[in-house]
Amino acid sequence: EVQLVESGGGLVQPGGSLRLSCAASGFTFSDHYMDWVRQAPGKGLEWVGRCRNKANTYTTEYAASVKGRFTISRDDSKNSLYLQMNSLKTEDTAVYYCARVTVVSGSYHFGDWGQGTLVTVSS
């Protein structure tokens, strides 16, 4: 069974930093692209960014709203995905989900999601 478990959320002041982790199990983590998606309270889903697999040299993509402030990385030896968030703003307040990208017939969709971790940016 695929499991994705996020951790590291909490309350942080504007301008602060936080590092989220996503522990994966039940599949070959190193084979998969992994993404972060967030959801502000009462709002819709917003894609944050992607980390490709080793075969694609761990390259990353980011949403414009977080580019230059957030960094996605992974440690395949620990089956873990990370999101380093710097220069946090109040508008970064959201539940952050990690998601596994499933590839079927050329389709790169989100096959599995974690339960999410809440990040609150407030003074």
Partner 1 sequence: DIQLTQSPSTLSASVGDRVTITCRASQSISSWLAWYQQKPGKAPNLLIYKASSLESGVPSRFSGSGSETEFTLTISSLQPDDFATYYCQQYKSYPLTFGGGTKVEIK
Mask for 19-58, x = binds partner 1 (CB under 8 A):
----------------x--------xxxx--x--------
Tell me the C-alpha distance between 90 and 102, whole Å. Answer: 32
Sign of the dihedral through C-alpha 38, 111, 72, 97: positive
97 lies in the binding site for partner 1 (CB under 8 A): yes
User: Who contacts 10 (Cβ-Cβ below 8 Å, separation ≥6)?
Assistant: 18, 118, 119, 120
Residue from 64, 68, 77, 123 touching partner 1 (CB under 8 A): that is 64
Interface ranges with partner 1 (CB under 8 A): 35, 44-47, 50, 61-64, 97, 102, 104-116
